[in-house]
Structure 1
């Protein structure tokens, strides 16, 4: 990615007339200038010259092609340059030689002026896009909580948004008043997807459709082994395949990302499709890459911009990769459904697809049913995406923490050797006898913090939380980071410390405020499955291997984590030495 100084053309006259909309002929170069609201009020700032004001870093050019080719650079730019909503308006209006871009900027400005509103809240209401920089610099930043309190109102674009901080606040909203906060907001990046494949489960609107599909999904998961020995054996078997992949590296450095992603995805795919995939299946690897890339793009800068400024969805740019990926994921799932229809026996369902098709046949005369084929695709996309990516990400954090803390890794080894031994395969029943290993897994979930702000909720009706009135339709962001790093709960919140989950006698304890799967009606559907997978995969890997960083390679840094819908560890390689 190239960054260089540039001249900024004069702003168009506010009295100019709108031009007929055309697709901008060249938007490859984008201006990013930090703290522009101050600059716009500063008459000393000449917009025809590069900015050297002390109020601002330097006007920059970002090569959009480079961003499209290397999506990770989005986050590097984002972390380095403060990019708020006012900057976006400014860059669109100042684009030299592109009246169409000016037209878009002017349209956005008028829409924001018409619809901008702030929720009345004694104490704190932040302006539009106070550092529009995603999870780390805005919502999940603990400084926001400490400075503004447990209920923070954001004037974000033209939608009312409230951030909830602290366990007691989240408990009141998500648990005690669960239905009040059970709605999901309409997000532009999923609008077209919902038209194609129904609402699914994760972002389905609260009501009959969502209740019917969530109930059916949980029941079907139990029917096909959730909480039973059969599924435990399936995970143990997959852990054996994963161990073989690690062993094949023969102690040399390798990136475990793909293998771990394959293993966790195979569990949910065996439930959804009735089959597992080989670790070198090119088609499946491409599918997993698309799912992972979607998590980064949808939760990153471009996904947020598309949700905040829907009109950019019709313009060229990196955000279009989101929609392309959605189509690729749908195509993969649709092919599996088509294959199932050829062999489907309603009397002998083998997996989730078969069970759904059977229920669809039963409900075909019900006009209110959610059992329609399009929604089968949506539900499967949700189950596979959420069921594989989150567990895979947590396991990758766990191995990174073990490498960075070899002394703690040794303690895990000692406990595994004492309880399980080196020959017998671990089972879920071993968990009660392995408090330290259990504590390490929970501490990984806490410090890894893979869902810093969970998923957005929306108020289903007018309600209150912590004494503050919140109207119906308000977007709610549950700041799980404020719970996972609360100094009142965790003695060393910014350090990896399994002692957070152990009492004075070394027994496992779990604080009430530990809610990595969120809480209430929208709690993670796959929580029970994820817990079983994490324990069996992690214990099996540590039973067979000692993990360490390759020689002469720098230690991965927590601050280099990858932000998207989930918070992923920085890329790293490891050496797996057979024990």
Structure 2
């Protein structure tokens, strides 16, 4: 071996030693974290994580390292929790410790720790308490939330009638119906489905939800510390969200000009009144930035989650016509054709309730959950997780936990029925997450899903354009969210 070869070999050995030493130092600086693949400096576990398949990559690591492990996105350690037992232990048994929040880097520029979803600490407590109170007291003596949903369901039926049994894509029809419910809360009124501003908002909403789950966005979320210095598609989400925020800012300005402190019309008015009440309070979180971003949170979450679940639900019901037929039968027996469904009917409709639960479970809408963090140094299963560490409580692994569901990867309403056909609760059913960070719109979403499904199926049959066995339920994207595939169907009067 010549001198040049010896020098090269020595350099390679030295470089390798430096890289391993840096990786070990990086790990030792992060407490006694759960096991996981050895990270490399700067790029972390780039070699083990495929950005276009983040979920699948993490599931492969779970199979190797167990239900609790650590993975590095660049230089950020992420503690991943898999299965019902681990997620429950963190989010419920240690609810306070795991109640922190981390914002996806793709969304950081917009939210920056503001708004009810992406804030934490005292700011989050003030905003969540207030938002829950307004949602619970919604209507301010006028229409209740249920009345608003039932009214909107009738507008949706009119849209379905207009299709005259011809094939159509239900994406924006369902988005507009669902969005109008949250619009009536935050803006005080619904939009006409043909309103151009409303249609533009729905397109922005749909585009941003899908954009958050692309391979590029997942790649950016992992390696933002490097990629933030370069231009690229990651700015697209920011631009869309800023356009939506600008629309909300206009509505806030309009509300300010016509505000009556004694007669609030909507969520924005209630927030403005609270801002006025706390004007002299230096620790108050009631300011314009939190108003705009909390409204955006509610508007976004209150539209895409429920409308995507309905879209997936329609697809599953066409793929399983026997399930749709049994739903029709129960609707006819309990409600009939002479009145509109109401929420009280749910307790008498175990099969319909089970189907809706199964749709939510298999839709797996936010598979990796919204990232949490620990509020202080936390002992968990013999490990020490330092304050501020990012946590991924993997909802996918809870909703498909074989210990909790007999046929986890099949669409089967029997997962929520006992041997006598009565509805059976399952504590692994947590599509809205769990613990202190559980979705604050859960009650509203459950009402919407029940009323939109039953009102539609009371009057119509969902007819696919292909043989049910040929219906493909593979999502368009699966990243931050599971995006249902685009499809067309025919809505046929019964």
- Where does residue 270 of structure 1 map in the other structure? 184
Instruction: Decide whether aligned partners of structure 1 residues 306 and 121 sit closer, same or farther in structure 2, where only a CA change above 3 A counts.
Output: closer
Are residues 1:125 and 2:37 paired? yes
Q: 2:391 aligned to 468, 476, 487, which one?
A: 476
Is 1:288 aligned with 2:207? no
Of 137, 141, 144, 2:56 maps to: 137
Displacement after TM superposition at 1:311 (Å)? 4.4
- After the TM superposition, which of the residue ranges 355-364 and 226-235 deviates more from structure 2? 226-235
Contact kept? 1:462, 1:469, Cα under 8 Å = yes
2:321 and 2:468 in contact (8 A); partners too: no
Name whichever of 460-469 and 386-395 sits farther off.
460-469
Q: What's the CA shift string for 1:316-373, capped at 9, x where partnerless? A: 3211211211211111111111111121101000100110110100101011111111
Alpha-carbon distance in 2 for matches of 1:115, 1:289: 47
Q: Structure 2: how far apart are the matches of 1:191 and 1:252?
A: 43
Q: Does 1:152 align with 2:66?
A: no
Q: Does 1:524 align with 2:446?
A: no
TM-superposed CA distance for 1:137, in Å, is: 2.2
1:511 maps onto 2:416 in alignment: no
How far does residue 122 in structure 1 lie from its aligned partner after superposition? 6.4
How far apart in 2 are the matches of 1:302 and 1:391? 25
Give SS of 2:77's match. strand
Instruction: Flag the 1:169–1:229 CA change in 2: closer, same or farther, 3 A.
Output: farther
1:552 CA displacement: 7.8
Residue 489 of structure 1 aligns with which residue?
A: 404
Q: What is the rounded CA distance, in whole Å, between the counterparts of 2:437 and 2:407 in structure 1?
A: 29
Higher relative contact order (CA 8 A, sep 6+): 2
Deviates more, 1:470-479 or 1:181-190: 181-190
How many Å separate the matches in 1 of 2:111 and 2:323?
A: 45
Structure 1 distance, partners of 2:468, 2:200, is 28
The corresponding residue for 2:109 is 192
Distance 1:145 1:237 in 2: 46
8 Å CA contact retained: 2:33, 2:385: no
Distance verdict in 2 for CA 1:203–1:122, change over 3 Å: closer
Q: What is the rounded CA distance, in whole Å, between the counterparts of 1:301 and 1:366 in structure 2?
A: 44
CA pair 278-554 structure 1, distance change in 2 beyond 3 A: farther
- Give the aligned partner of residue 79 of structure 2: 162
C-alpha distance in 2 between matches for 1:311 and 1:439: 46
How do 1:43-442 residues align onto structure 2 when only pairs under 5 Å count?
116-117=26-27, 120=32, 124-125=36-37, 127=39, 128-129=45-46, 130-133=48-51, 134-139=53-58, 141=59, 143-194=60-111, 199-204=114-119, 206-225=120-139, 230-307=144-221, 308-442=223-357
SS at match of 1:559: coil
Q: 1:117 to 1:303 in 2, by over 3 A?
A: farther
CA distance in 1, matches of 2:290, 2:385: 32
TM-score (ref. length: structure 2): 0.89
Distance (Å, rounded) in 1 between the aligned partners of 2:232 and 2:469: 34
- What's the RMSD between the two structures over aligned residues? 2.4
- Residue deviations 1:397-440 (CA, integer Å, cap 9, x gap): 11001000001100000000000001210000000000000000
In structure 1, list runs of 5 or more residues that go unmatched: 1-40, 42-108
Greater Cα shift, 554-563 or 212-221: 554-563
Contact 1:502 1:508 survives alignment (8 Å): yes
Segments of structure 2 that go 5 or more residues without pairing to the other structure are 1-11, 13-18, 40-44
C-alpha distance in 2, partners of 1:227/1:520?
A: 31
Is contact 1:297–1:564 with CA below 8 Å preserved after alignment?
no
- Higher mean C-alpha displacement, 524-533 vs 153-162: 153-162
Contact 1:125-1:154 within 8 A present in 2 as well = yes
What is the distance in 1 between the residues matched to 2:184 and 2:374? 36
- Of 548, 557, 561, which residue of structure 1 is paired with 2:463? 548
Q: 1:255-310, CA deviations, whole angstroms, 9 ceiling, x for partnerless residues? A: 00101000110000100000111112121111121122222223433333333234
Question: Deviation of residue 558 (structure 1)?
Answer: 2.8
- What is the distance in 2 between the residues matched to 1:523 and 1:385? 16
1:62 corresponds in structure 2 to none
| Residue aligning to 1:54 | none
Matches within 5 A, 1:29-48: none
**Structure 2 counterpart SS, 1:575:** strand
CA distance in 2, matches of 1:225, 1:493: 40
Q: CA deviation at 1:228?
A: 10
Aligned residues of 2:346 and 2:450 also touching (Cα < 8 A): yes
Q: What is the CA deviation profile of residues 177-199 of structure 1, one whole-angstrom value per residue up to 9, with x for unaligned ones?
A: 1111111125433333236xx60
d(CA) in 2 for partners of 1:464 and 1:173?
10
Deviation at 1:520, TM superposition (A): 0.7
CA distance in 1, matches of 2:471, 2:141: 36
